Amino acid sequence: MRILGIETSCDETSAAVVEDGGLILSNVIASQSDLHSRFGGVVPEVASRRHVELILPTIDEALAKAKCTLETIDAIGVVNRPGLIGALLVGVAAAKSIAFATGLPIVPVHHIEAHIYANWLTFGQSAPDQNTLPELPAMCLVVSGGHSDLILMHGHGSYEIVARTRDDAAGELFDKCARAMGLGYPGGPIIDSLAKSGNPAAVKFPRAKLGETLDFSFSGLKTAVIRFVQSNNDERGSEDIAASMQQAVVDVLVGNTFAAVAATGAKSVLVAGGVAANSGLQAAMRHAGSSHGVPVTIPRPILCTDNAAMVASAAFYRMAKCESAGLDLDCIASEPIGPRR
């Protein structure tokens, strides 16, 4: 089964064709980050307008790269929630138009669910081998510009929220700290590369622990980094600040993830979302996974940030349960992926 995926929930316009939920035939990502960098963050109205310009050429390119036409596509998967409402509307309107013209079914996909399914796409150039797919139940750490959640995935389409952030998302923290340090946008990749030549123990930044819950809070760390940068009396280099800030985030993310594994009996750990591309987080997750004897899966960096291949994969598993929507499909700005555990 070939699914055309469409993703426009934030500042990436993306379309992809994926076979049987795992084999990427094409994955075209038109990033708008250059457009938003001078504002230091995504401007929703600017993003919507750019999506309108990019969506049709992006879909055409994804079909051409996959050597497909709409006649050889079986369904359209589209992110309709959560996200910037004006941005979501562009992808959903495109999906509905194609469905109206061709009669193809539309499968609505939750953006966080799509990020998790990037872990079903890490199987190279052949169709996924059932024996190497992630073991369920899985503890999913989804860390992006808008989310920092620990989600227990019981099975396809079945999720419970174990923990979430009480304030900033991890990606937002990277972006805001980078802005305070006078670096560019998005801040995550810049801090990641600076941190490689810094000392992670140079500055002792706070690691928040919220009582008995595994919820995250990054606003204290953000304030500490901003204050440190403003009053940098000992003139630490930005490499040391980046490495110390990154280490503080990584310690909390890894610590809470494996505490959640212990509390729930999850059989594997799946990392997803833009911050999953962070090299420090990847190394620490793999290290903790081998010391706890729990398999850890992390998508390739290009599949960690927003893309439509992950949407097509999630839609494939939703299709398997005969879930599709009508032309009255709506967009939702905010909706949890499942109940709180």
Which residues sit opposite 6 in a β-bridge?
Answer: 15, 78
Strands (DSSP E) found in the chain: 2-7, 12-19, 23-31, 75-81, 106-110, 138-143, 148-155, 158-164, 268-272, 296-297
Of the pair 113, 306, the CB lying nearest ligand KG4 is at 306
Of the pair 144, 217, the CB lying nearest ligand KG4 is at 144
Binding at 171: pick from ligand KG4, Zn ion, none (beta carbon under 5-8 Å per type): ligand KG4
Q: Is 216 in the site for ligand KG4 (CB under 6 A)?
A: no
In this structure, the strands spanning 2-7 and 12-19 are: antiparallel
Closest distance to ligand KG4 from the beta carbon of 305 (Å): 3
Which of 58-66, 229-237, 257-265, 270-278 is the region at the interface with ligand KG4 (rule: CB under 6 A)?
270-278
Angstrom distances, CA of residue 53 to CA of 30, 134, 238: 11, 37, 38
Query: What is the spatial distance between Cα 232 and Cα 237, in angstroms, rounded to a whole number?
Result: 9
Q: Is 91 in the site for ligand KG4 (CB under 6 A)?
A: no
- DSSP H or E stretch at residue 239: helix 238-264
Q: Binding string to Zn ion for residues 296 to 325, with x set by CB under 5 A, is what? A: ----------x-------------------
Nearest CA to 341 among 264, 253, 271? 264
Closest distance to ligand KG4 from the beta carbon of 88 (Å): 12
Q: Binding string to ligand KG4 for residues 158 to 197, with x set by CB under 6 A, is what? A: -------------x--xx----------xxxx--x-----
Site for ligand KG4 (CB under 6 A): which residue of 13, 58, 119, 144?
A: 144
Query: What is the spatial distance between Cα 178 and Cα 185, in angstroms, rounded to a whole number?
Result: 7
Token readout for 136 is 């369920």
Of the pair 250, 261, the CB lying nearest ligand KG4 is at 250
Closest distance to Zn ion from the beta carbon of 115 (Å): 6
Q: Is 299 in the site for ligand KG4 (CB under 6 A)?
A: no
Of the pair 96, 111, the CB lying nearest ligand KG4 is at 111
Query: What is the spatial distance between Cα 21 and Cα 339, in angstroms, rounded to a whole number?
Result: 25
Q: Which residue has the tokens 């309108």?
A: 52
Which of 39-47, 144-152, 195-203, 282-290 is the region at the interface with Zn ion (rule: CB under 5 A)?
144-152
DSSP string spanning 276-340?
A: GG-HHHHHHHHHHHHHHT--EE---HHHHSS-SHHHHHHHHHHHTTT--B-TT----S---SS-B
Closest distance to Zn ion from the beta carbon of 303 (Å): 11
**Chain contacts with ligand KG4 (rule: CB under 6 A):** 10, 144-146, 171, 174-175, 186-189, 192, 273-275, 277-278, 305-306
